[in-house]
Amino acid sequence: MRTQDGKEEVFGPFNPPERPFAEVAWVGEGVGYQIFPERFYNGDPGNDALALETDEYRFNQVWQRSSGPKPHLSHWSDPPSPLHCCHQYFGGDLAGVLAKLPYLKALGVSVLYLNPIFDSGSAHGYDTHDYLKVSPKFGDKSLLRKLLDEAHRLGMRVIFDFVPNHTGLGFWAFQDVVRRGPRSPYWNWYFIKRWPFLPGDGSAYEGWWGLGSLPKLNTADPGVKRYLIEVAKYWIRFGFDGVRVDVPGDVLNPHAFFKEMRAELKAIKPDAYLVAEIWQRDPSWLRGDEFDSLMNYAIGRDILLRFAKGGSLALYNARRALADLARVYALYPEAVAGMGFNLITSHDTARLLTELGGGGLKDVPSPEARARQRLAAAMLYALPGLPVTFQGDECGFTGERPADPPHELNRYPFQWEKCHGETLAFYQELAGLRQELAALRSAVFRTYFGEGHLLAFFRGEPGEGEVLAAFNSGVEAATLPLPPGGWRDPLEGRTYRKEVAVPPLGFRYLLHLGR
């Protein structure tokens, strides 16, 4: 590949997989949405108190001996407490997700990604207590069945969140180790440094990131590996359409583990969608024998977010952004690009509007910050693959991730009555454009223009029907020279030739009408 400044970049050599894999067709056709169930919508207040009955505090003897705050319930709009991250419960549940499926349908959503819904000790759910049980605070299997059936009836696919690297303190195998020590048949499922110990004491066993609340599983143990893979198979058979795997790079012998998992899941459901939480570009996971996609933070945050922030051209201009996009799509096979799990923000980042200058949870965003969010979203929806929005970003909510308590303010409950109508309508419009313009749902990406604040690329096969997507991160209008032929803006209903003005902090999707 030759860059715009004439430098040559070499990619490869590539080693084609023994079995080249095909794109999971329904992924790139759709629009994705991430739900953090505990903070989405409270559809059944009757199960709220069950959160306290399963919380980590019941198992964490170190915490029980401390004088710190304890898990508690809150009303939906109560202020964040010091335990906001993990043990302040607001009552969101599966009944709430079910109730809001019509809202998601109107938003154009066709793929739902649910953060952990299985029995756990926290609001976030990444400390599993029972992999085969729905968290009582969220509902039960019969309600989950109803949710999946209704989502499928509405044309939506649903992906579950799977945590194979570590468990919570209440997981039955860990509790057996606590009670029986080396006599437990599950002793080798963990990395115990001394026994007896108090659950929650991270110095007595290995925990994820050293956390005593998240004891690490020994996935090199055949029993652990078989148990976890059977869990994933169970939920695919139950009716889920795919799985997002938490921190797969931290699993022991990860490539061998996920090759085996993929083979067994695809044998059950060939079009199951497998996504890895890998934040950087890394094609080693995408050779057709492990995952279908990574969570593409490397595109959404490293490229789109940086470009949408605007600012000094010396820091990150359109030429650099276009070159970075070209590198990504030169690195990945077209099938991988076509089913990319593309996102800018999630439960693990600040909210999109906050990232783009909109302020924190209590602040009022400026018109420029809102315009930059629209610009970033328009770029996300124009890429090959699946654009994924974190709940509430489509409503223009803010939320930072402060270092001091209360943490994770990006996860504050979805304040439905405060949804910003103009932003919501914009996201609905983007979903409509993806349905109207077939090229936006293809896997084909080609660069076109990158100068100053103006960036443009082609989508779809060359010729009639392809789309030229253009984006301006500057505060003044910019003129884009057009390729030969007529180019229609579907939002305006107007056709352009030779050149077109791209509005400040704006975008255009232009449909090629032919010569």
Catalytically annotated residue among 277, 393, 408, 466: 277
Q: How far apart are CA 228 and CA 167, in angstroms?
A: 11
Q: Is residue 73 within 8 Å of residue 89, measured between CB atoms?
A: yes
How many CB atoms are located within 10 Å of the residue 298 CB? Answer: 17
Token look-up 């898990």 returns 71
**CA distances from residue 496 to 451, 453, 479, 510 in whole angstroms, order as listed:** 20, 21, 12, 9
Query: How many residues in the chain?
Result: 515
**CA distances from residue 467 to 14, 379, 462, 479 in whole angstroms, order as listed:** 29, 13, 9, 17
Q: Is residue 154 within 8 Å of residue 146, measured between CB atoms?
A: no
* CB neighbour burial string for 232-246, b if at least 16 within 10 angstroms, e if fewer: bbebbeebbbbbbbb
Respond yes or no: is residue 277 known to be catalytic. yes
Token look-up 């198979």 returns 233
Tokens read off for 19: 């079995």
Catalytically annotated residue among 44, 48, 206, 246: 246
Q: Is residue 4 within 8 Å of residue 88, measured between CB atoms?
A: no
Tokens read off for 157: 């696919």
Would you list the DSSP string of 79-118? PP-TTTTTTEE----HHHHHHTHHHHHHTT--EEEEPP-E
Q: Is residue 383 within 8 Å of residue 340, measured between CB atoms?
A: yes
Structural Rg of the chain based on CA atoms: 24
Residue positions annotated with a catalytic role = 246, 277
